[in-house]
C-alpha cells in the first residue's frame, strides 16, 4: 500500500466515522437509567452492557490503530465500562473521545498508516486497514442496541432514515 492510498483510506474512513458520531450518540442516549438492564434473551448482554461496550470498544479500536498494536486486557475493559454511571455520561464520553481519536488518526504519519499491524495472530495488514473493521464493529453493536430500544420501552431514533419514533422531516 502506498502512502497516498493509506492517506486516502484514513481520511475517507475517519470522515465516515465522524459522520456517525451523532447517530451513535442518539442510540446510546436512548438507553435510559430505568430500562438499561433490558436483555432480549438470557444469552444477550443487557442494554447497558452493550452500550458501554459499544462506546469503549470504539475508543479501544481507534487507540489500537493509533498505538500500532492490538492488545486486549479484559480487566481494563471492565474498568472502562464501569466508569459510566448514566447514559448522559456515556454520550458525553463518546461525543468527546471519538472525534478526538479520529483527529489523531488523520494526523498519523504515512509510515504509521502503512505499517503492518498484527490483529491477535488472526491477520496482519497496514494499520489504516483496521479502520474498516473498527467501523463495522461499531455499526454491528449500534444495530444490536437499536434493535433493543423499542422492546425495552425507548424511542428508536432516526439512523439512516426516519423511524416510527423520529420520522424524517417533511415525512
Please say whether the dihedral angle defined by the alpha carbons of residues 69, 70, 73 and 78, taken in this order, is positive or negative: positive
The count of C-alpha atoms lying within 13 angstroms of the C-alpha of 138, restricted to the half-sphere facing its C-beta, is 29
How many residues does the structure list for the chain? 171
Per-residue pLDDT at 171: 62
Sorted by where each begins, the domain ranges of the chain are: 3-149
What's the rounded Cα separation, in Å, for the pair 53 and 47?
Answer: 10
**Mind listing the pLDDT tens digit of every residue in the chain (171 residues)?**
899 999 999 999 999 999 999 999 999 999 999 999 999 999 999 999 999 999 999 999 999 999 999 999 999 889 989 999 999 999 999 999 999 999 999 999 999 999 999 999 899 999 999 999 999 999 999 999 999 999 999 999 999 999 988 888 776
As beta bridge partners, residue 119 has: 123
Residue 32 has phi, psi (to 5 degrees) of -105, 155
Domain at 3-149: CATH architecture = Up-down Bundle (1.20)
DSSP of 10-53, one letter per residue?
HHHHHHHHHHHHHHHHHHHHTS-TTTTT--SSTTSPPHHHHHHH
| Closest to 27 measured CA to CA, from 151, 164, 141 | 141
With a CB cutoff of 8 Å and minimum separation 6, the contacts of 116 are 124, 125, 126, 127
Amino acid at each position: 500500500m502506498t502512502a497516498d492510498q493509506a492517506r486516502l483510506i484514513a481520511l475517507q474512513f475517519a470522515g465516515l466515522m465522524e459522520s456517525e458520531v451523532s447517530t451513535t450518540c442518539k442510540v446510546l442516549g436512548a438507553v435510559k437509567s430505568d430500562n438499561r438492564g433490558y436483555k432480549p434473551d438470557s444469552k444477550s448482554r443487557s442494554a447497558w452492557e452493550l452500550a458501554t461496550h459499544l462506546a469503549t470498544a470504539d475508543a479501544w479500536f481507534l487507540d489500537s490503530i493509533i498505538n500500532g498494536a492490538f492488545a486486549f486486557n479484559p480487566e481494563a475493559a471492565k474498568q472502562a465500562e464501569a466508569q459510566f454511571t448514566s447514559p448522559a455520561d456515556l454520550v458525553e464520553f463518546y461525543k468527546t473521545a471519538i472525534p478526538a481519536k479520529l483527529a489523531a488518526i488523520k494526523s498519523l504519519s504515512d509510515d504509521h498508516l502503512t505499517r503492518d499491524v498484527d490483529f491477535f495472530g488472526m491477520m496482519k495488514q497496514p494499520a489504516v486497514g483496521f479502520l474498516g473493521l473498527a467501523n463495522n464493529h461499531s455499526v454491528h453493536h449500534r444495530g444490536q442496541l437499536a434493535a433493543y430500544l423499542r422492546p425495552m420501552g425507548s424511542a428508536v431514533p432516526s439512523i439512516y432514515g426516519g423511524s416510527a419514533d423520529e420520522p424524517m422531516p417533511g415525512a
